[in-house]
Amino acid sequence: MKELTIAMPKGRIFEEAYEMLIEAGFNLPEEVEMSRKLMIEIPDEKIRFILAKPMDVPVYVEHGVADIGIAGKDVLLEQRRTVHELLDLKISECYIASAGLPNTKMSEIAPRIATKYPNIAMKYYKGIGEQVEIIELNGSIELAPMIGLADRIVDIVSTGRTLKENGLVEYEHITDVSSRLIANPVSYRMKSERIQDLVKRLKKCVD
């Protein structure tokens, strides 16, 4: 059996996905000590987890240092890397939407859009024929309309609480997001049996 390297996003998604793997019958220790470790070896199953920033998971997988990985659809849409998208794990479901101050119209000339997802935002507004100026921010996107940096923000929404607390309302629903199982194209062929088996077992847990 060939060793399988799985890139996982740190934090909540890791825990949920880890649970799923146990449910799918993988013999993993119940408790994993993941304080500051970046790599976890499971010799029994010949699996190695690497823990990465969510945005970096597709990078590891694209370069083949991880065979498969778990990545949010938002990251996949934003980065458009050459990876195979195998399975929708239906965990951490949310969506990308545009939001802004209530009852405001976008500026006539070139409305400014603040976002962590410049490519997704650009593609969306291009698609509806709006000319916009994209402002890339790394966090606290909600601030932008409040202090007049942008007309709208494009960001991920799960419960809508953060928007509400900052006095923003949702305008357009752009796309749904959930965690996906992705694979490196070469690993997908060279370790085809292991990956197919994993997909089949996880699929049962998803449905």
Partner 1 sequence: MSSIKMFEKPLGMRDTFPEIYEKLEQVRTIGRQLLHARGYEFIKTPSVEYYDTVGKASAIQDAILFKLVDSQGNTLVLRPDMTTPIARVVTSKLLKEKIPQRLAYFENVFRAQQQEGGRPAEFEQMGVELIGDASVYADAEVIATAIELVKAYGIESFKITVGHAGVLSTILSDYTESTEQAKKLNELLVQRNYVGFEEAVQTFDLPKTKTDALLAFIEEALSLSSIEDIEKYMRKNDALNYMQQLWQILSLAGYEEYMAMDFTLSSHMSYYTGMLFEVFAEGSGFPLGNGGRYDGLLEHFGTNVGATGFGLRVDRLIQAMPTQVIETDRVLVLFTPDRFTEALEQANFLREQHKQVTFQSTEGLQDVEAFKAHFPVVNEFMSKEV
Identify the CA nearest to 179 among candidates 155, 202, 153.
202
How far is Cα 172 from Cα 61, in angstroms, rounded to an integer?
32
Q: Give first-to-last CA distance, the chain, whole Å.
A: 27
Measured from the CB atom, the residue of 169 and 186 that comes closer to partner 1 is 186
Chain positions contacting partner 1, by CB under 8 A: 62-65, 82-88, 180, 184-187, 189-190, 192, 196
Min dist CB 190 to partner 1, Å, is: 5
Query: Would you say 28 or 202 has its CB closer to partner 1?
Result: 202
Strands (E), 58-200: 68-72, 84-88, 94-100, 112-115, 133-136, 152-157, 169-177, 179-183
* Spatial distance between the Cα atoms of 172 and 154, rounded to a whole number of angstroms: 9
Find the shortest distance in angstroms from Cβ 85 to partner 1: 4
Supply the minimum distance, in Å, between the C-beta of residue 15 and partner 1. Answer: 22
Shortest CB 60 distance to partner 1, Å: 9
Of 167 and 185, the one with the shorter C-beta distance to partner 1 is 185
Q: Among residues 134 and 144, whose Cβ is nearest to partner 1?
A: 134
Residue whose CB is less far from partner 1, 16 or 62: 62
Task: With CA atoms as reference, report the closest residue to 97 among 74, 75, 79, 72.
Answer: 74
Least distance (Å) between residue 119 CB and partner 1: 11
**Coil/strand/helix, residue 32:** coil
Beta bridge partners of 153: 99, 114
